[in-house]
Structure 1
Amino acid sequence: MFKSFTRLAVAAAAAATMATPALAQDEGEWSGNVTLTSNYVFRGITQTDEAPMVQGGFDWASDSFYVGTWASGVDFGDGTSTEIDLYAGWTPTVGAFDLDLGVIYYWYPDAPDNPEQNFFEAYAGASTTLGDTVEVGASVAYSPEFYLEIGDAFYYAASIGIPLSEMFSVDATVGYSDFVDAGGDYTDYSLGLTTSLEGFDLDFRFIGTDDDAFDEYFVVSVSRSL
C-alpha cells in the first residue's frame, strides 16, 4: 500500500515509529534498542498490514553528533518485507531550545524497482520545556523525491508530553503530510500513554488520520534499551 512517511522520525517519532538517536555524550558511545510492536504505524498508516513486528537499531553519539541505523519488518503487499533506515544528525542547544538537524535514508532492499521506493529526507526539529515538566516540540521533514517517486513532499509535526507521575506520562502529536506534486495531503494524530517496568518501556497509543481511506489503530509496544 502507499507509504506516507515512515519514521522520525521524526519521528518519531515520531514513533513510532522513527529510530531514536542516543543522547549526545562528551565521548563516543554506542547504544541499541529492540521493540516488539502490535502494529508498525508510520505517519498514521500501517506498514505491516496491522500485523505485529520486531524492530531494532543501533546508534553512536559523540558530543552533539549521532549516526545510527534502525530496521523493521514491513508488509506493503508487493513483496517488500524489510525497511532499513540510515541516519545522521546534529543536536545543538540554542537558548532554551534543543535542536535536531539531520538526514535519513529509507531503504527497502527487497522492494520492486519501478517505481523507486527508497528515498531521502532532511529534517529539522526543536523542543523545549514549559515550566518544569511540559515538553513541547515541532519539526519538519523534506524529501525532494518521496516514496514511489511522487516528487517533493513535506511532513510537519507538533507534539506535547506531560508527566502524570514518576511512572506514567502522556503525549500527543499532530502531523501533516504535504505532497507538493502528487496531492492527497492529510493530517495524522497520535495520543499515547507510556511507562517503564523492570527495564522495559511500555507504550499504549491511539493513532488515526483525517483521511477515511485509512483506519484508526490502537498500538501496544514493548521496548528495551541495550
Structure 2
Amino acid sequence: MKKLTSLTIAAPLLLAASIAQAEVSANFGATSNYLWRGVTQSADGASVSGGLDYSNESGFYAGTWIGTIDWGIGNAAETDLYLGYSGEADGFSYDVGYVYYAYLESEYDGSDFGELYFKGAMADFNFSIAYTINSDADDAAPFGQGDLYYSVGYEFALSEDYSLALTVGHYDFDVDGALDADYSHAQLDLSKGDFTFSVSKTTDSALSDDDLKLVVSWSTSF
C-alpha cells in the first residue's frame, strides 16, 4: 500500500515535469511564390501557410504544416505530417525523420508520398538527404518510391540584423521510361527578422523551367 501511495503521488509530479519540458509552437507565413526545392507549387503566385509543432528536451518532435498550392488546375492545399529526432554532438547538429506529403483537392491522382530525411550542420555549412519510401505514384511518374533529393548549403550572418544563405540541390527521380524529370537548383536567401528575399534558379526539365525567380516571404512563430 505504501508503494502504491508513493506512485500515486509521484505520477502527477512526473506528468507536470514532462509537460514543462515539452513545447508546442505555431507558425504562420505568406510568400509571393511558394517554391519547394526550387520549383513553384503555386503557379508563380502567392501562398499562405500555417503549422503546429511539438518538441521535447529529448530531441523528439512532431508536427503538421498546411500551405495553399496551385498546380494549374485551381487552388488546393498541401498538408505535411512529420516526426523525427534532432540532436547535437561535438558541434555537429543532426536531424532525422519522416515526412508525409498529402495534396488535398489537387485533382492529381497519385500525388501523395512520404520520405525519410537526414539533415546535418556544422559551423556555417549544412546538407540534407531525402529518400522517398512510399508513394501513390506509379513507376512512370516522378515523386515515386526510390526518388532521391540532396542539397548542400552555407549560411552566415552579414550583420546583427541580416543573414545570407546559399543552397544548391539536385532531385534524382527513379522514373521508368523516357521522362526527363531530374533537375538541379540554386537559391540565395537574404533574411532580416521575419522577412526573406530569395533569388532562385533551376535547370530546365519536365518539372521545372530555367526562369529566374524573385520571391519575398514572411513567417513568424510563437
Q: Normalization by structure 2: what TM-score?
A: 0.81
User: 1:204 deviation in Å?
Assistant: 0.3
What amino acid maps onto 1:189 in structure 2? A
Question: Does structure 1 residue 71 correspond to structure 2 residue 60?
Answer: no
User: Does residue 111 in structure 1 map to residue 106 in structure 2?
Assistant: yes
Report whether the alignment pairs 1:210 with 2:203: yes
Counterpart among 138, 156, 160 of residue 166 in structure 1: 160
Q: CA deviation at 1:174?
A: 0.3
In the TM superposition, what are the counterparts of 1:148-167 in structure 2 within 5 Å? 148-149=137-138, 150=141, 151=144, 152-167=146-161
The amino acid that maps onto 1:105 is Y
Match of 1:38 in 2: 32
Please state if 1:84 is matched with 2:79: yes
Match of 2:22 among 23, 28, 42: 28
Contact 2:191 2:197 in 1 (8 A): yes
Q: Is the 1:139–1:156 Cα contact (8 Å) retained in structure 2?
A: yes
Q: Does 1:100 align with 2:95?
A: yes
Distance of 1:90 and 1:145 partners within structure 2: 20
Unaligned runs of 5+ in 2: 1-18
CA distance in 1, matches of 2:74, 2:161: 41
Q: Superposition RMSD on alpha carbons, in Å?
A: 1.9
Cα deviation, residue 66, structure 1: 0.5
Match of 1:142 in 2: 131
User: Who wins on radius of gyration, i.e. which is larger?
Assistant: 2
- Structure 2 CA distance for aligned equivalents of residues 78 and 222 of structure 1: 26
User: Cα deviation per residue 1:125-161 (whole Å; 9 max; x = unaligned)?
Assistant: 11011xxxxx111110000345743332000010110
Contact in 2 for aligned 1:140/1:156 (Cα 8 Å): yes
Pairing partner for 2:42 from 33, 48, 62: 48
Q: Comparing 147-156 with 185-194, which one deviates more in the overlay?
A: 147-156
CA distance in 1, matches of 2:156, 2:40: 26
Q: When you count helix as a share of all residues, which structure comes out higher?
A: 2
